[in-house]
Structure 1
């Protein structure tokens, strides 16, 4: 049965959301024009300004052209257009929710007749990953962005006040109209379309597929499933957090555009500050969630790889933080106000630019994260250019209303240092985006018929680190100096207050350099700067919380930033490979053909099943393959379950017990998680403490074998382990040609290069999988195999049941041997064995130590807390101002 109703309803909601966004845009625009005319007749006060009639910048006065009333704003007449706009926006928000409900209903109920559900989900996925399927595709991510914007817009309608609502929400609604158009899915003719609908049926999305010629009602039994790299709990919360950060950047942008529109170039700063702080917190934590996902899921050994998609989000965050700092000095510095205007506009435009980069397909193979082009690159470009043109044109026309400083800010003022800090942040962002945009330059040149030879750096990590380290050295130093100036610890030319934290910085840094054996001058500079930021901001924090803890947000955020830099320095700069290969075995042949200086062979170690190997201070033993059952805690031995291929279920080969509780009996069917095979690696340290890690490999038809790490966390470091190479866990053993041995008891023979001794053949009454009756007979051989790890006993059996002969073999993955007792000759006393050999079970693994990486994660949380605390204070201040 094809469920077309829910798709039709969803598409109706998409169209409704687009139309109501347009209606809200027009209605708010007309309402804003009416209020602007009223404001021209009756002057409007900018209550947060420290002047009336004149602007005071740096002790000087500059005449302003906008009239300012002495008291409160005159009451405004009822606005029918505003009422219409509100209802239109509320209906738009409800329609967006309706679209989301319909799409999730399709995914959750496995309606694979829909292309989106078939492409991104499967029946085997647990609920949390079904949620992730919602935003794996481009249409779902646009819908998520729409939802957050609609939610924030509804909040702003209730909180922004009548003065700001109309011009600001006109911008908001216009953005929503553009976003809604991305999932509109309206086609004109054969080539031109607006948006890509998530409610396309499979037969509509793939009309040329042969199956629909023979069976127009064909519905796949299962979908392609979620990208295995996204089957991680961080991918359930990282995208929503990141897109909420995207949505937050729209709020200060809308306030800024509204302020310019209303000829009030400073008035927008105060209401926008709290939203900018929240946006910086949410976007920052979203970025770090992505970093933590990469750390836990990808096997490049870190959390940040300077991938173009990572850069595309990192740059707007840097600019947003820079804009935040210039907002703090906008009241007293015209330069600060102009810079805040430029950076606030740039933050949102950079979000649009990052969307274009990641969803237009322009990055091609330059990124492991980018989406493929859905044919929306032209529409995305129009979206970007429309707001670039709108913002630049409005700023150019209204620039004359921003007063100009008659005198430059002194180097001894806080305004100067905050501006310098914002400038350094902006330069750091520029350096990243200028390199990340190389594919865009090439595409532009190609469109003009020219060939560009520009290429991304071959070693992107080294390229970006070379510049970004020095930017953050400067930023760390500036946070300390800026905070002392802000809290008037230093005034004028008297900077004596910095002597004590400076001495403490040198002492602590010297100790860390000596203890950590830091020899690289660049690392030394970053460490000293980070410790200086920690000491100065820590001192400021102690003084502030004695007075009013609500004022401590800035100091807390700067302390968190300093801790993050220290964590990054040690975890990235002093990461140590501990899986050194001392066996002399050639693990990777690729090094023979590259200039890799035999790196892969040196940094990977080979582990045979149940064969201990020494690795640094640890003794490692590979204990075998493990799988996960849905309702059984921990991991199960893969040999204990026969996996039913393609069904994500298995048959228990023994009773499944965990922690003394019986979950399944032998022969029961149990549900399994798809695609993942875990490899238990047992660590034993020098004190005898034993723990196990379970790095995994995922087998996926689209992407092949994908390895993900497991991490053992200590207070001062992480032990990061992943498999570099494994036998295909889904492939059956390939047994070599059968070899036959005829031996007597106590005779010696060879099994796969191991010495074997037939110790005995004894009668038995129990054979796994065979019920023996009173007239049946069975014997079991005792074959002792000698290896360097000790002895192992194999017990093949010979059974006569109901006058039929059975020969149950014994298989040892550790030895790579299958042995079968074929014949018993009572005349000679000899026993005939059939032996097959195969590849022994093994893994090649790599392990690294990441010192002080927890300092990075702790610093991230502290930065977020500082931003949130500062946002709450700024919002309360704005609320009090509105009530005054």
Structure 2
């Protein structure tokens, strides 16, 4: 009850505190002092409820249904920590936690610049609305209240939890979601300052105040998205890092807006133009954060995305819709209320000016945002207009964004040679000549290497032009203006990332390979051989997990990759879960995804439930009946001695004979470790090869039996492995690009702080 009560108290405090901040606008006094004290109380309370929740997770308090659903005693510490935000309720708590962390700095920042009342009124309102969602769908609900239909008795606490989805059992879960949620929280800061700027009729100062926060939000969102892509590439086995999934796209939308806003804010700061534009983008960015939250957590994309949460129920669904609509209206009302009052300086937008190129590039970023928004929302749009609910083809995103990316990179490269207001075209051509020559040489090398499609030639031209231009300016400013390196490094990073995207998307080669143990198979210039198959994580009874050790040889160099396949109770073992094996080279990755592991055998087998009688497959005159199991040898400490027995009755010519057949306990294959026994009075051998448990009803479990003639020599068949082999050229440019973008954002943040201090 403590957790729930604390959430309700914090919710009430948020309502009161937000009201006090708004009421203290232009009336500093006791209300403002009280609001500040209550705000720090809210921050302390959110941290307290977070710590309390973590304590319950680590102490395995399974009376809370959320903890039972997403954790277990077997999980290591880092996964127990990650179970905090593995589900809907916990992810909202994580989000409001980051609001609390940022709030500690925002209140001081807003107070310092005379924006405290409105900024904090809006900020606490946001905290209160997230707390309202948590109150409606609480991580502190008791299991007997959540699962009333399962007849859970109050006070009856399960001994263990269900655990995490095995796909989430990866170290990246400790990093990717927190960074992304921190980005979502940070994206609200430009919004609340924009609303405050509109209300206070301060249409310029808020830009100076907010630009560093916009850079932080963009850096966190970009890094969070990139880490999610790396996680997908490394563990999910589908071979890519970005699949244009609607939920993936939803986090991309606000990031694109922050990227555009950084550049339009710079234009406003220098030229005093684009004032209305920046208000609109700041509002749109946060609205897209809320829209991403709605898409991910409402369950509306359950049929269209592998990342979507399940339906949270009508109350939370309509609350998410109400919050989204409310902040659209708040932003729209504030903007329209002051729209006529906003006066921008006249900008000629000469095509040879830097402000023109920066604005032009920002327009293309926003155009990409609109295209992706429509594609992401298409399942909702199609259903709303009475069409079959469907997603757009991924090719739509690629085809539309390719020319947009060409224009963005081109404007980036050109803009650095331009002055504010106007520039001599002759000087631009003269200054850019070196970069153009280097770009043309590089394109020629690409062309003779086999890159001949026009779309790739154009894209690579703009990529390399941007790289050379930014590298030139970075070198030029390295010694005297090191903080200016941030923008150059970020732009180089984006260009390198795009090289990786083009190379892996357009020039990867893929082939299906069939591999038999003891044989060497050649494919795509490499030799492959199956070294071993090893069962791992045997201590975990909820899964059966195997590593296939595959040796790769080329030009005398040898390496081993370890793709993984396993079956889990989490999906009732209906389909295998795949993890790829990756051989990393400087210029490429060798990416192996298992497709199937088959055993070709003529062995006759039959599956029989307890209490059933069936014929011998190779002699229908003989029957046998499964009467029970011998579990006396299943608890052996030595796994090689642990055996499961099945008691069978042979029905032969009116006589009944009883025998017990054994198989290695946990045997993973019906063809290995077979213990043949002769059936008396016949020329038949029988073996108990496997036990297939039913997770719905243990009485429906089946025993698998094999048959052969006594004089037949049984030869254990070899396993045939089928995998998809992909060679992904220059994939490392993607990861290098992400690193440079992140470093660039960090440097840019400190540069903007310095600029603001100088101003």
Q: Which category of TM-score, normalised to the shorter sequence, fits these structures?
A: 0.7 to 0.9
Asked if 1:27 corresponds to 2:20, the answer is: yes
| Deviation, structure 1 residue 538 | 1.1
Which residue in 1 is equivalent to 2:481? 548
Report if aligned partners of 2:417, 2:428 keep a CA contact under 8 Å in 1: no
Comparing 286-295 and 610-619, the one that deviates more:
610-619
Which residue in 2 is equivalent to 1:498? 432
Which residue in 2 is equivalent to 1:12? 5
Task: Return the index of the structure with the highest Cα Rg.
Answer: 1
Asked if 1:484 corresponds to 2:424, the answer is: no
Which residue in 2 is equivalent to 1:718? 589
| Deviation, structure 1 residue 836 | 4.6
| 1:275-298 Cα distance to aligned partner (Å, 9 max, x none) | 111111111010000000110121
Asked if 1:878 corresponds to 2:756, the answer is: yes
Which residue in 2 is equivalent to 1:138? 88
| Deviation, structure 1 residue 428 | 0.6
Report if aligned partners of 2:578, 2:593 keep a CA contact under 8 Å in 1: yes
| Deviation, structure 1 residue 410 | 1.5
With the length of structure 2 as denominator, give the TM-score of the two structures: 0.83
- List aligned pairs for 1:458-469, cutoff 5 A: 460-469=393-402
Report if aligned partners of 1:678, 1:694 keep a CA contact under 8 Å in 2: yes
Gaps of at least 5 residues in structure 2 are: 608-615, 620-638, 642-660, 680-709
Q: Whole-Å Cα distance in 2 between the matches of residues 813 and 707 of structure 1?
A: 18
Asked if 1:230 corresponds to 2:171, the answer is: no
Q: Whole-Å Cα distance in 1 between the matches of residues 467 and 717 of structure 2?
A: 55
| 1:495-526 Cα distance to aligned partner (Å, 9 max, x none) | 222222112211111112322x1122111111
Which residue in 1 is equivalent to 2:501? 568
Note closer, same or farther for the CA distance 1:197–1:769 as it changes in structure 2 (3 Å cut): closer
Alignment partner of 1:182 out of 125, 128, 133: 133
Q: Whole-Å Cα distance in 2 between the matches of residues 86 and 734 of structure 1?
A: 75
Alignment partner of 1:471 out of 380, 393, 404: 404
Alignment partner of 1:857 out of 711, 717, 735: 735
- List aligned pairs for 1:303-314, cutoff 5 A: 303-314=241-252
Alignment partner of 1:337 out of 275, 292, 307: 275
Note closer, same or farther for the CA distance 1:490–1:735 as it changes in structure 2 (3 Å cut): farther
Q: Whole-Å Cα distance in 2 between the matches of residues 256 and 274 of structure 1?
A: 14
Q: Whole-Å Cα distance in 2 between the matches of residues 12 and 467 of structure 1?
A: 50
Which residue in 2 is equivalent to 1:380? 320
| Deviation, structure 1 residue 437 | 0.8
| Deviation, structure 1 residue 168 | 1.1
Which residue in 1 is equivalent to 2:300? 362
Alignment partner of 1:533 out of 441, 457, 466: 466
Which residue in 1 is equivalent to 2:655? none
Alignment partner of 1:428 out of 365, 368, 378: 368
Structure 2 counterpart SS, 1:329: helix
Higher helix proportion, which one? 2
Structure 2 counterpart SS, 1:225: coil
Aligned pairs, how many?
673
Asked if 1:196 corresponds to 2:129, the answer is: no
Which residue in 2 is equivalent to 1:350? 288
| 1:350-395 Cα distance to aligned partner (Å, 9 max, x none) | 0001111111111121100011111211000111111111111001
| Deviation, structure 1 residue 322 | 0.3
Report if aligned partners of 2:14, 2:127 keep a CA contact under 8 Å in 1: yes
Report if aligned partners of 2:235, 2:579 keep a CA contact under 8 Å in 1: yes
Q: Whole-Å Cα distance in 1 between the matches of residues 419 and 110 of structure 2?
A: 29
Comparing 566-575 and 102-111, the one that deviates more:
102-111
Which residue in 2 is equivalent to 1:121? 71
Asked if 1:298 corresponds to 2:236, the answer is: yes
Report if aligned partners of 1:618, 1:683 keep a CA contact under 8 Å in 2: yes
Q: Whole-Å Cα distance in 2 between the matches of residues 836 and 812 of structure 1?
A: 19
Report if aligned partners of 2:195, 2:331 keep a CA contact under 8 Å in 1: yes
Structure 1 counterpart SS, 2:479: helix
Report if aligned partners of 1:568, 1:856 keep a CA contact under 8 Å in 2: yes
Report if aligned partners of 1:624, 1:679 keep a CA contact under 8 Å in 2: yes
Report if aligned partners of 1:820, 1:835 keep a CA contact under 8 Å in 2: no
Q: Whole-Å Cα distance in 1 between the matches of residues 332 and 733 of structure 2?
A: 41
- List aligned pairs for 1:46-445, cutoff 5 A: 79-162=29-112, 163-184=114-135, 195-209=136-150, 211-212=151-152, 215-333=153-271, 335-375=273-313, 376-406=316-346, 408-445=348-385
| Deviation, structure 1 residue 235 | 1.2
- List aligned pairs for 1:633-712, cutoff 5 A: 643=538, 646=541, 676-687=545-556, 689-703=557-571, 704-712=575-583
Which residue in 1 is equivalent to 2:645? none
Q: Whole-Å Cα distance in 1 between the matches of residues 340 and 3 of structure 2?
A: 47
CA RMSD of aligned residues (A): 3.0
| Deviation, structure 1 residue 859 | 0.9
| 1:322-367 Cα distance to aligned partner (Å, 9 max, x none) | 0110000113545422211111111111000111111111112110
Note closer, same or farther for the CA distance 1:812–1:309 as it changes in structure 2 (3 Å cut): closer
Structure 2 counterpart SS, 1:411: coil
Structure 1 counterpart SS, 2:326: helix
Note closer, same or farther for the CA distance 1:808–1:247 as it changes in structure 2 (3 Å cut): closer
Q: Whole-Å Cα distance in 1 between the matches of residues 281 and 544 of structure 2?
A: 46
Report if aligned partners of 1:678, 1:696 keep a CA contact under 8 Å in 2: yes
| 1:183-223 Cα distance to aligned partner (Å, 9 max, x none) | 10xxxxxxxxxx201111111011121x33xx554333322
Which residue in 2 is equivalent to 1:512? 446
Comparing 698-707 and 12-21, the one that deviates more:
698-707
Q: Whole-Å Cα distance in 1 between the matches of residues 65 and 312 of structure 2?
A: 13
Q: Whole-Å Cα distance in 1 between the matches of residues 545 and 10 of structure 2?
A: 40
Structure 1 counterpart SS, 2:63: coil
Alignment partner of 1:845 out of 710, 723, 726: 723
With the length of structure 1 as denominator, give the TM-score of the two structures: 0.72
Q: Whole-Å Cα distance in 2 between the matches of residues 769 and 618 of structure 1?
A: 37
Q: Whole-Å Cα distance in 2 between the matches of residues 504 and 812 of structure 1?
A: 59
- List aligned pairs for 1:804-823, cutoff 5 A: 818=674
Q: Whole-Å Cα distance in 1 between the matches of residues 410 and 263 of structure 2?
A: 15
| Deviation, structure 1 residue 154 | 0.7
Report if aligned partners of 1:734, 1:838 keep a CA contact under 8 Å in 2: no
Q: Whole-Å Cα distance in 2 between the matches of residues 610 and 733 of structure 1?
A: 25
Note closer, same or farther for the CA distance 1:548–1:834 as it changes in structure 2 (3 Å cut): same
Structure 1 counterpart SS, 2:416: helix
Q: Whole-Å Cα distance in 1 between the matches of residues 663 and 2 of structure 2?
A: 60
Structure 2 counterpart SS, 1:328: helix
Q: Whole-Å Cα distance in 2 between the matches of residues 293 and 769 of structure 1?
A: 36
Gaps of at least 5 residues in structure 1 are: 1-7, 35-77, 185-194, 446-450, 578-602, 630-642, 649-673, 741-767, 771-805, 824-831
| Deviation, structure 1 residue 683 | 1.8
Report if aligned partners of 2:264, 2:278 keep a CA contact under 8 Å in 1: yes
